[in-house]
Amino acid sequence: MLLDSLFARRLVVLTGKGGVGKSVVGAALALAARGRGKRVLLVEVGAPLEAARRLGGAPSRGRETEALPGLFTLNLDPQTVMDEYVRHVVKFDLVARRVLASPIYHRFFAAAPGLKELMVLGKIMVLEQANRRLSREPLWDLIVVDAPATGHGLAYLKVPLAASRAVPVGPIGHNARRILALLRDPERTSIVVVAAPEEMAVVEAVELYRATRDDVRIEPQAVVLNGCHERRFSDEDEAWVLRLGTKSESGELEPGVPLQAAVRAARRQIRRRKLTRFYRDRLHRSLDSPLVSLPFLFREALGVDELSTLADALEAA
């Protein structure tokens, strides 16, 4: 149900504090959309460890690269996006090359605050508007953007607003307003906040959600709570485990499996599932938004199979 509403738009932007598994959620969303027969582009920004690696595809090297049939990845490097733009503006190759080699260009564009973010968002807007050559149908049925986790989670979403205010007239302001209009258009864009069931992550998710809504005036469509531990033992069994755990119990569950170790593991599971419930309740109370839980995966590696499990969980939500 959640996906019906998310996928009714063609642009899904994920935000959230670092370390909550945003890139994993992004890959799972892309897989779910692919499962619905959509042609999907998963965009990352300057990701050192690309999602393509988890999906079994080749690194994107700045170009849309098909990782699985119908699922493309693109790892945007802000500097490359900027260089591309210069080549687009300057038609003459020789001049473009000299500009790109010039120290003015490098020092200015490397340091001008907000410019990289604006360029990257501009590129995403171009991707959103790209059409197929013959049919004039959109090139991408869905674009999932894994916005970089900066210390200030809103930095990316705030840039077009700040830029449009700093420079109301001229191409910068004009483009900043177009980007802002795209992000704010509930028909075209969904913002999804990703959180994890931990104190800091939840505090920041709530702040991020409210700031997106109140400062940038975009209402996030959903919150994804990643890494959840669900109830596994009945009340009775939990009570038994907790009772046992306080004593140093000897004996074996079965040959080679000490009861003590199993009880210790179970106690940890119980603690985690209680924390999950606690933080889920808090998000429910604090935010008036659909909330989807994704399970914590105990796996050797996170590849297509594991991500598909998460995609299924999203599909079932």
Subset of residues 267 to 286 that bind another protein, contact rule: CB under 8 A: 268-269, 271, 275
List 64, 84, 141, 207, residue binding another protein (CB under 8 A) = 207
253 contacts another protein (rule: CB under 8 A): yes
Taking contact as CB under 8 A, which single stretch among the options 3-11, 29-37, 149-157, 280-288 is the one that binds another protein? 149-157
Closest CA to 156 of 1, 29, 13: 13
Q: Is 243 in the site for another protein (CB under 8 A)?
A: no
User: Which pair of tokens denotes residue 170?
Assistant: 């001229």
Q: Give one DSSP letter per residue of 296-313, joined into a string.
A: PP--S---HHHHHHHHHH
Q: Which stretch binds another protein (CB under 8 A): 55-63, 83-91, 138-146, 309-317?
A: 83-91
- From CA 212, how far away is CA 160, in angstroms rounded? 13
The helix or strand, by DSSP H or E, that contains position 145, with its residue range, turns out to be strand 142-146
Site for another protein contains 245 (CB under 8 A)? no
CB of residue 45 to another protein, shortest distance in Å? 9
Query: Using the rule CB under 8 A, is 217 a contact of another protein?
Result: no
Tell me phi and psi for residue 316, to 5 degrees.
-80, -15
Q: Looking at residues 36 to 65 of the shown chain, list those that interact with another protein (rule: CB under 8 A).
A: 46-49
| 8 Å CB contact between 120 and 45 | yes
Residue 250 lies near another protein (rule: CB under 8 A): yes
Q: Which helix (H) or strand (E) holds 41?
A: strand 40-45
Q: How far is the CB of 186 from another protein (least distance, A)?
A: 24
Residue 262 in contact with another protein, rule: CB under 8 A: yes
Does 159 bind another protein (CB under 8 A)? Our answer is: yes
| Residue of 62, 79, 158, 304 interacting with another protein (CB under 8 A) | 158
CB of 104 vs another protein, minimal distance in Å: 5
| Contacting residue, 259, 304, 313, 317, with another protein by CB under 8 A | 259
Question: Is residue 29 packed enough to be buried (19+ CB in 10 Å), middle (13-18) or exposed (0-12)?
Answer: buried
| Pair type for strands 142-146 and 11-15 | parallel
User: How far is Cα 90 from Cα 97, in angstroms, rounded to an integer?
Assistant: 9
Give the range of 28-36, 112-120, 285-293, 307-315 binding another protein by CB under 8 A.
112-120
- Hey, what are 143's tokens? 């674009």
**119, 290, 316 from 293: Cα distances, Å:** 33, 10, 10
Q: Decide if residue 313 touches another protein (CB under 8 A).
A: no
The nearer residue to another protein, 68 or 85, going by C-beta atoms, is 85
**151 is a site residue for another protein (CB under 8 A):** yes
In sequence order, the 6+-apart residues with CB closer than 8 A to the CB of 213 are: 219, 220
